[in-house]
């Protein structure tokens, strides 16, 4: 069994994931890095050289490959859960946790780092709020299919870890 952390870019999936993994004594993986490693290209390179659909295929392959692991907390990319194939893989092999945040809170976190994210790079300085809002609207129905929805802004990783430990025990998987 794995734990999949989902949520918009900038919602703190990697930071929370590392803390939860340490508390459970599980492994931690960042899905973006797995895809980058497998393809030998950075994410901006995948988008620039081959387009978004190439990146999405690489992301699904990475997810599929790591889903056979166990006791691993996986920080997904912001777009990972927005696909029936990916959602099915995650639901079948683990517990899905959504770190929910509002568009304004996400924008203030993302402004500083938007150049590392191809989907935001194309939105100009003033366009970032509109881009985040529209992407978040499209993605929310996917994100809300998570097993657990929690506040990403004021996340209490101790509380989430306890909840997860109880679910893992209920599922008969060992800590």
Q: Which is nearer to ligand S3P, 74 or 168 (CB)?
A: 74
Q: Could you tell me the smallest distance in angstroms from the CB atom of residue 167 to ligand S3P?
A: 24
Q: Which is nearer to ligand S3P, 117 or 168 (CB)?
A: 117
What SS3 state is found at 5?
strand
Q: Could you tell me the smallest distance in angstroms from the CB atom of residue 129 to ligand S3P?
A: 16
Q: Which is nearer to ligand S3P, 21 or 168 (CB)?
A: 21
Dist CA 91 CA 46 (whole Å): 27
Helix axes 157-170, 13-24, angle to 10 degrees: 60
Q: Which residues bind ligand S3P (CB under 6 A)?
A: 9, 32, 43, 77-79, 117-119
Q: Which strand (E) or helix (H) includes residue 99?
A: strand 94-100
Q: Please give the structure tokens belonging to residue 55.
A: 């990146």
What Cα–Cα distance (Å) separates residue 81 from each residue in 43, 60, 100, 145?
A: 17, 10, 13, 9
Q: Please give the structure tokens belonging to residue 12.
A: 């703190």
Q: Could you tell me the smallest distance in angstroms from the CB atom of residue 7 to ligand S3P?
A: 7
Q: Could you tell me the smallest distance in angstroms from the CB atom of residue 77 to ligand S3P?
A: 2
Q: Which is nearer to ligand S3P, 120 or 168 (CB)?
A: 120
């Amino acid at each position: 069994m794995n734990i999949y952390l989902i949520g918009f870019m900038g919602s703190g999936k990697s930071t929370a994931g590392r803390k939860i993994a340490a508390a459970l004594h599980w492994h931690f993986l960042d899905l973006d890095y797995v895809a980058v490693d497998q393809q030998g290209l950075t994410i901006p390179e995948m988008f620039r050289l081959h387009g978004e659909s190439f990146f999405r295929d690489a992301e699904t392959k990475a997810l599929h490959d790591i889903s056979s692991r166990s006791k691993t907390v996986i920080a997904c990319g912001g777009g990972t859960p927005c696909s029936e194939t990916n959602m099915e893989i995650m639901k079948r092999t683990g517990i899905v946790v959504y770190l929910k945040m509002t568009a304004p809170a996400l924008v203030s976190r993302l402004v500083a780092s938007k150049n590392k994210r191809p989907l935001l790079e194309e939105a100009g300085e003033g366009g970032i709020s509109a881009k985040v809002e529209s992407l978040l609207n499209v993605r929310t129905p996917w994100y809300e299919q998570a097993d657990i929805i929690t506040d990403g802004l004021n996340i209490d990783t101790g509380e989430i870890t306890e909840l997860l430990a109880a679910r893992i025990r209920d599922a008969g998987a060992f800590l």
